[in-house]
Chain A
Amino acid sequence: MTMNRRDFLKFGAGASGSLVVSLALPGCAGIQTGYQPETGEWRPDAWLELTANDEIFFTLARVEMGQGTYTGLTTLIAEELEVRPEKITPRFAPVAPEYQNPLYNLQLTGGSTSMATSWEPLRMAGAEARQMLVMAAARVWNVDAAECQAREGRVVHPNGIDSMAYGKLVELASKEVVRGDIALKPRADWKYIGKQSGRLDARAKSTGTAVYGIDVDLPGMIYGVIARPPRYGGRVRSFNGDDVRAMTGVIDVFETDRGVAVVADKYWRARKAQETLRIEWDFSEALSVSTEDVFESYRTAADEDAGESERSEGSFERAVEGAERVLEAEYAQPYLAHATLEPMNATAWYRGDRMEVWAPTQAPDLGRIAVARATDLGPDDVTIHTTFLGGGFGRRLTQDYIEEAAALANRVRRPVKVIWSREEDTRHDFYRPAMLHRMRASLAGGQLTGWHHQIVGPQILDWYVRNAAPAQYPWAPKFMYDTLGKVGLMAEGIATPKDMSAIEGAIEYPYQVDNIDIRHTHTDPGVPITWWRSVGYSHNGFAVETFMDELAHEAGEDPYQFRRRLVASEPRHLEVLDRAARLADWAAPAPRGRARGIALFRSFGTYVAQVVEAGIENDSIRVYKVACAVDCGQVVNPRIVEDQIEGGILFGLTAALYGQITLDNGEVQQSNFHDYRLMRQYERPDVLVDIVDSAEVPTGVGEPGVPPVIPALGNALFALTGKRQRSLPLRAEA
């Protein structure tokens, strides 16, 4: 990719002076800083750009939604390049093949994969650039490169006195070629990995200057809102367009695939005009299920179809025959909304032969497909400028909000920003699926001899392939998009990957049991779903770890010791389990009126054990303390790991205590934070996080804190009340 920086169209410093949006070429949206280097830049690879002015830019291919890529991935580069992380300016990546997530062949941020997939390539990139700079300096001084050292953005002469700044070496370094292997620094020499604890985005996010999607400002920009059908799949039959068009500031009112759009010069005018819309809907194809119907359909499906075998060892049926006791339990979990604090929004500008979009998105390449669907353009005509994300949690992997903005921009031919209300964000989400779990286990001689887990519910890829499959084939003609979606997502172009979203966390059942039978009964009630922080692990964690607790009590054994015995041969599981128990002082009795529950769960390669201490106060569940041990391999930024784990715990507790989206005849019944509650400051428990010191390859931390806290709380409530709760959210009056 070559580009001439002086060709950039630059504008938009508003009254706040905080936002400068640069247009035109991908890769150059100086959206955080507005800074444009002047001369002599060098791009040793897809990620790095060094300038003669001693600036270092790093193209960040995994979006920043709070999970810390902006800091963590920059730290990898800094370590090998031998500069302080603060010296590097991250920039959000344009859509390009080199920025794809290799696990998905898509440019998406999700699955707690950012650190794991960047660990090698980013350090290699930093190391290669450093070696080229050193070689260039050695050539200038006519000394052996091996005798020179890179330090703090300079190359130091073998005499230890003279040095040259990287900026001075940029032009020469660009001509060097590293032959042979690129040498990564040994662990003992690390200055930042495992030690860095600040956040590079903290300053912008504490001064109100960080630019989120909703903050994008363009000249002549107008605002769009959309009245969507109250039931998913509803269509517009008719509406009072003329009345609404006559209102102050209204520019256009028209039907789209998603409902009736109102475009006005100001956001509030668009909203007020929307309130006067009278729409007659056609619900003939619309969703009509209620929550009870969903679970009824799951039970029927479970009765009729034992499901696809996902893991089978020994013979569960024989274990049952030889058992003294067989335990059965059914667990149910509701739909959940993401509730990112920044509501869905996107800004689009149709510019004749191309479209530019500014959006907080976790998958900009899918965003291009969404634009292509809504316009006469192809994906290559679309530029997506990614901004900071005010929360993602999986919601922004689905690009419906970009498709809307594109449809509006396509019609009004001016820059238009679509902003969802909180009510719309809650009611038109793609949800964490409601799920049902049927568990059976056999006990003989006090031993667990058989484990049977039937998972009942939909698969997320069925909903996700619509845009994900075409994104893997951006050259495919548009008439093929739906075919590609039906064929499925092609991993590495050859095979349809297995959809793990329903079964992850169930099939990795870690306990030593001879007879295991794990099945998935696939049934989809048609409620829109997508990835939600920790995905399948979020519901399987509750089912597996609550049932383990039931079994421990049935076997008359301490729930910690019961698990301990059954993971004795799994050292990383055992380590976090022991640490969490120690941190929580498990052996000592809980304070009066409180009880403890424990859970152990591995997700996204990260091992987590948690002990929750809870009670009931004024008819409400009160969580006092969460002790957590985590093994995520090599830690890059200890404070971010702690924060992600604690954040995951609060996210999980919010789901356990309050989370449920319910449907009545296809209509979502919740709307805002009064009836879709989030945990508040005064409800926060004390959270203790103990991180295992490890040199293993780093694994993700954004999601693994979530799953175990839900069963750990339920198990604590059982210890407190003697009553087992098998559906969520948990209740004080069990």
Chain B
Amino acid sequence: MAVMLTVNGEEHSLDVEGDTPLLWVVRDELGLKGTKFGCGAGLCGACTVHLNGQPVRSCSTPVEMAAGGRVETIESLGGEDRLHPLQKAWVEHGVPQCGYCQSGQIMSAAHLLANNPAPSRDEIVAAMTGNLCRCGTYSRIIAAVESVAAGSSNQQDA
């Protein structure tokens, strides 16, 4: 079947089975490898993308449920030369170790800040708790998100 999807601002008509998880469509049909496969069951968050502005686990979202929708992946946030403030914070705080979970972490954080530019520590922890990191980068993640949250409120103040 043909599925219409807008991914990172580009429209695509894709010939895939409707039950194919959005994850594999993004990765293998569109070649956007930044979104990762971790568990296939919505338990680890490595595959987090935004669907119509909401964070979803693309590994357990059949592409037909996203049909006609707007998908944003890590690649939409910024490239190596044009970093999103969160990506900049991730680099400055040296967050990634193995790095495999970090696309998902950043996508969860990006959704949080888009809706709540100055979250409390507890709100950040709650928003990030669905994203597993086996290397244990959790404290750097909080520090990085807080630095951007503070920065964005400063900008608003200025």
Q: Could you list which residues of chain A lie within 8 angstroms of chain B, going by C-beta atoms?
A: 14-16, 18-19, 65-68, 197-199, 201-212, 214-215, 217, 248, 266-269, 272, 339-343, 388-393, 419, 421-423, 639-640, 643-644, 646-651, 672-674, 678-682, 684, 686-687
B74 contact set on A, CB distance < 8 A:
207-208
14 additional A-B pairs beyond A202-B94, A204-B99, A647-B136, beta carbons within 8 Å, are: A16-B34, A65-B98, A202-B96, A206-B96, A340-B134, A341-B101, A390-B99, A391-B100, A643-B94, A651-B136, A672-B43, A678-B134, A681-B129, A681-B131
Q: Is B40 an interface residue (CB 8 A)?
A: yes
Cβ of B102 under 8 Å from chain A: yes
Q: Are B17 and A268 within 8 A (Cβ)?
A: yes
- Residue contact B31 to A682, C-beta cutoff 8 Å: no
CB of B38 closer than 8 Å to a CB of A: yes
Q: Which of B43, B100, B103 contacts A673 (CB 8 A)?
A: B43
- Using CB atoms and an 8 Å cutoff, list the residues of chain B in contact with chain A: 16-17, 19-21, 24, 28, 30-41, 43-44, 46, 73-75, 77-80, 83, 87, 90-92, 94-103, 106, 125-126, 128-142
B80 touches A214 (CB 8 A): no
A339 touches B33 (CB 8 A): no
- Would you list 17 pairs from A and B whose C-beta atoms are within 8 A, ordered by A residue? A65-B98, A199-B96, A207-B80, A266-B20, A268-B24, A341-B36, A342-B38, A343-B38, A388-B98, A419-B37, A643-B97, A647-B97, A647-B136, A673-B43, A679-B136, A681-B131, A686-B139
Per the bound structure, the CA–CA distance linking A682 and B139 in Å amounts to: 10
Residues of chain B lying within 8 A (CB to CB) of residue A211: 33
Chain A positions within 8 Å of B77 at CB level: 207
Q: B77 to nearest A CB, angstroms?
A: 8
**What is the minimal beta-carbon distance from B41 to any residue of chain A, in angstroms?**
5
CB atoms of A390 and B100 under 8 A apart:
yes
Is B37 a contact of A343 with CB atoms below 8 Å? yes
B137:A680 contact, CB within 8 angstroms: no
Q: Once the chains bind, are A678 and B132 in contact (CB under 8 Å)?
A: yes
Interface of A is mostly: loop
Alpha-carbon gap, A205 to B87, bound state (A): 9
Report whether A207 and B79 are in contact in the complex, using a CB–CB cutoff of 8 Å.
Answer: yes
Contacts of A208 in B (CB 8 A): 32-35, 73-75, 103
Question: Would A672 and B73 be within 8 Å (CB), given that A202-B91, A207-B87 are in contact?
Answer: no
What's the A-B contact tally at a CB cutoff of 8 Å? Answer: 193
Kindly state the separation between the CA atoms of A679 and B134 in the bound complex, as whole angstroms: 8
Shortest CB distance A225–B (Å): 12
A681-B141 in contact given A205-B102, A206-B95 (Cβ < 8 Å): yes
When the two chains form the complex, which single residue of B17, B33, B137 contacts A217, counting CB atoms closer than 8 Å?
A: B33
Task: For B21, list chain A residues within 8 Å (CB).
Answer: 268
Residues of the B chain whose Cβ atoms lie less than 8 Å from the Cβ of A199:
91, 94, 96
Q: Given the complex, which residues of A lie within 8 Å of B138, measured CB to CB?
A: 650, 681, 684
CB neighbours (8 Å) of A640 from chain B are 94
* Shortest beta-carbon distance from B101 to chain A in Å: 5
- Hey, which chain B residues are within 8 Å of A673, CB to CB? 39, 41, 43-44, 132
- Find the A residue at minimum CB distance from B77: A207
Partner of B129, one of A204, A343, A682: A682
Closest to A197 in B: B94
A206:B100 contact, CB within 8 angstroms: no
CB-CB under 8 A for A212 and B96, given A206-B106, A647-B137: no
Query: Are B44 and A341 in contact, CB atoms less than 8 angstroms apart?
Result: yes
Q: Judging by beta carbons under 8 Å apart, are A341 and B38 in contact?
A: yes
What are the residues of chain B within 8 A of A423 when measuring CB–CB? 40
Tell me the nearest residue of chain B to A338, going by C-beta: B134
Question: For residue A268, which residues in chain B have a CB less than 8 angstroms away from its CB?
Answer: 17, 19-21, 24
CB < 8 Å: which of B30, B31, B80, B95 contacts A204? B80
Given A205, A206, A674, A684, which contacts B139 in the complex, CB threshold below 8 Å?
Answer: A684
A-chain residues with CB within 8 Å of residue B92 when the two chains form the complex: 198
A16 touches B98 (CB 8 A): no
Q: Distance (Å) between the CB of B152 and the closest chain A CB?
A: 18
A155 to chain B, nearest CB (A): 31
Interchain CB contact under 8 A, A339 and B134: yes
- Within the complex, the shortest CB–CB distance from A512 to chain B, in Å, comes to 34
B125 CB contact (under 8 Å) in A198, A266, A648, A681:
A681
Is A206 a contact partner of B91 (Cβ separation < 8 A)? yes
Complex CA distance for A392 and B33, rounded to whole angstroms? 20
A-B pairs with lowest CB-CB distance, top 8:
A208-B34, A205-B99, A390-B100, A66-B98, A14-B31, A650-B136, A66-B97, A15-B31
* Known contacts A208-B74, A267-B28, A341-B132; A388/B20 CB under 8 A: no
Residue of A nearest to B10 (CB): A15
Q: Complex formed: what's the CA distance from A477 to B99 in Å?
A: 39
Q: How far is the CA of A217 from the CA of B29 in the complex (A)?
A: 11
Within 8 Å by CB of A389, from B37, B38, B98, lies B98
Q: Which residue of A lies closest to B41 (CB)?
A: A672
Query: Contacting B30 at CB < 8 Å: which of A15, A648, A679?
Result: A15
Report A-chain residues with C-beta under 8 Å of the C-beta of B106: 206
Which residues does chain A contribute within 8 Å of B39, judged by CB atoms? 422, 672-673
Contact of B132 among A248, A651, A680 (CB under 8 A): A680
Task: Tell me, in angstroms, the Cα distance from A202 to B102 when the chains sit together.
Answer: 10
A-side contacts of B20, CB under 8 Å: 266, 268
In whole angstroms, how far apart are the Cα atoms of A208 and B31 in the complex? Answer: 12
| Given A16-B75, A646-B139, A681-B141, A341-B33 contact (CB < 8 Å) | no
Closest to A687 in B: B139
Residues of A within 8 A of B73 (CB): 208
Contact partners of B17 in chain A: CB under 8 A: 248, 268-269
Taken together as a complex, chains A and B put the C-alpha atoms of A207 and B19 apart, in Å, by 28
B98 is contacted by which of A390, A649, A672 (Cβ under 8 Å)?
A390
- A648 to B125, alpha carbons, bound, how many Å? 21
* In the complex, chain A residues whose CB is within 8 Å of the CB of B125: 681-682
Q: A643-B140, A646-B136 are in contact. Are A342 and B34 (CB under 8 A)?
A: no
* Interfacial chain A residues near B90, Cβ < 8 Å: 202, 205-206
> How far, in Å, is B82 (CB) from chain A's closest CB?
10
Residues of chain B lying within 8 A (CB to CB) of residue A340: 98, 100, 134
- The CA-CA distance from A272 to B128 in the complex, in Å, is 32
Q: Which residues of B contact A339 (CB under 8 A)?
A: 134
Could you tell me the distance between the alpha carbons of A399 and B2 in the complex, rounded to whole angstroms?
Answer: 39
Q: Are the CB atoms of B96 and A680 closer together than 8 Å? A: no
Bound complex: CA of A268 vs CA of B107, how far in Å?
24
Chain B contacts for A390, CB-based, 8 A: 36, 98-100
Smallest Cβ-Cβ distance to A419: which chain B residue? B37
Given contacts A202-B96, A266-B28, A681-B125, contact A207 B83 (CB under 8 A): yes
Distance between Cα atoms of A392 and B141 in the complex (Å):
21
Residues of B within 8 A of A679 (CB): 136
Decide if A341 touches B137 in the complex (CB within 8 Å).
Answer: no
In the docked arrangement, what's the CA distance between A266 and B126, Å?
36
Set of chain B residues within 8 Å of A68, measured between Cβ atoms: 97
With both chains docked as a complex, state the minimum distance between the C-beta of B58 and any C-beta of chain A, in angstroms: 12
CB distance from B23 to the nearest CB of A (A): 9
A532 shortest CB reach to chain B, Å? 13
B145 to chain A, nearest CB (A): 11
